[in-house]
């Protein structure tokens, strides 16, 4: 069906945004719009230019017979930092303070805009790596995993502390919960992850890193490969963390129950190095 360029731009933009990290051949568009591949190339060059200008991501061109274009969502470091600072301001509202110095963050992890931002930022960090699956642990990690997975266009898997009959056979590991020093158990459905998968682990909050270390062991149990660990926020921790190689979007550097102050700064994802 032949339509005008301005009209094609709408369709193609919609299509590409909904198929991130997916190779789309020129012929696909050429057939769809009954047009020459050369005009499709021109169309895509315009889209690439606008995606660049808006800081939305890259439109990669893969040459050759098996080639095409691939939309890779990617936020610039500056945009990511701007978004993270806005979230940091929200996270430091004093009414989030809970007994024991915990910080309430469930509303942020149920907000579509914030989840999109978190997903974009984490997916940008791993945009150029091969990722087969995103792993997280129930419950609050799930929205983060889902958002990251949607931008990377890969499935996500949910590790559970309780094992449910609806998961089928599971593989489980024991781990040391950092806060209580108790030995706990986490399990993942056996069929949810293939051997050799390249896995990105995400979670909402890290203190001692025990839970993340557990997921790391689980990745090993599946004979899969850990690509990275990224948390939404890390808290202050006195002592040695169980993991050292991780990224955080936010760092809750101080919680003062007396003055009711929560201090939040950008996490180590934004450290210069």
Nearer to a copy of itself, 205 or 270 (CB): 205
Nearer to a copy of itself, 97 or 270 (CB): 97
In angstroms, give the least distance from the CB of 164 to a copy of itself: 8
In angstroms, give the least distance from the CB of 272 to a copy of itself: 30
In angstroms, give the least distance from the CB of 240 to a copy of itself: 23
In angstroms, give the least distance from the CB of 211 to a copy of itself: 13
Nearer to a copy of itself, 37 or 190 (CB): 190
In angstroms, give the least distance from the CB of 229 to a copy of itself: 19
Nearer to a copy of itself, 152 or 249 (CB): 152
- What is the 3-state secondary structure of the chain? CCCCHHHHHHHHHHHHHHCCCCEECHHHHHHHCCCCHHHHHHHHHHHHHHHHHHCCEEEEEECCCCCEEEEEECCCHHHHHHHHHHHHHHHCCHHHEEHHHEECCCCHHHCHHHHHHHHHHHHHHCCCCCCCEEEEECCCHHHHHHHHHHHHCCCEEEEECCCCHHHCCEEEEEEECCCCCCEEEEEEEHHHCCCCCEEEEEEEEECCCHHHHHHHHHHHHCCCEEEEEEEEEEECCCCCCCCCCCEEEEEEEEEECCCCEEEEEECHHHCCC
Nearer to a copy of itself, 157 or 243 (CB): 157
Nearer to a copy of itself, 52 or 129 (CB): 52
Q: Where along the sequence are the contacts to a copy of itself (CB under 8 A)?
A: 3, 5-7, 9-11, 13-14, 17-18, 46-47, 49-51, 54, 56, 98-100, 102-107, 110-112, 115-116, 138-140, 142-143, 146-147, 149-150, 153-158, 160, 165-168, 189, 191-192, 205
In angstroms, give the least distance from the CB of 113 to a copy of itself: 8
């Amino acid at each position: 069906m032949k339509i005008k360029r301005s009209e094609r731009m709408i369709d193609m933009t919609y299509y590409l945004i909904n198929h991130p990290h997916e190779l789309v051949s020129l012929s696909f568009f050429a057939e769809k719009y009954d047009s020459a591949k050369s005009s499709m190339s021109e169309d895509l060059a315009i889209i690439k230019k606008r995606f660049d200008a808006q800081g939305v991501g890259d439109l990669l061109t893969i040459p050759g017979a098996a080639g095409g274009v691939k939309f890779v969502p990617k936020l610039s470091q500056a945009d990511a930092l701007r978004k993270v600072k806005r979230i940091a301001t929200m996270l430091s509202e004093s009414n989030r303070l809970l007994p024991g110095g915990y910080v309430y963050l469930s509303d942020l992890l149920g907000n579509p805009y914030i989840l999109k931002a978190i997903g974009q930022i984490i997916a940008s960090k791993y945009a150029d790596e091969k990722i087969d699956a995103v792993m997280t642990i129930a419950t609050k990690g799930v929205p983060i995993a889902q958002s990251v997975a949607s931008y990377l266009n890969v499935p996500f898997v949910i590790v559970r502390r309780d094992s449910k009959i609806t998961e089928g056979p599971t593989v489980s590991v024991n781990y040391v919960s950092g806060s209580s020093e108790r030995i706990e158990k986490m399990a993942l459905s056996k069929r949810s992850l293939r051997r050799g998968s390249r896995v990105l682990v995400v979670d909402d909050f890290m203190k001692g890193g025990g839970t993340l270390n557990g997921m790391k062991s689980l990745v090993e149990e599946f004979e899969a490969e850990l690509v990275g660990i990224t948390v939404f926020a890390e808290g202050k921790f006195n002592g040695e963390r169980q993991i050292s190689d991780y990224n955080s979007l936010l760092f809750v550097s101080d919680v003062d129950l007396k003055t009711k102050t929560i201090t939040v700064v950008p996490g180590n994802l934004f450290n210069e190095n």
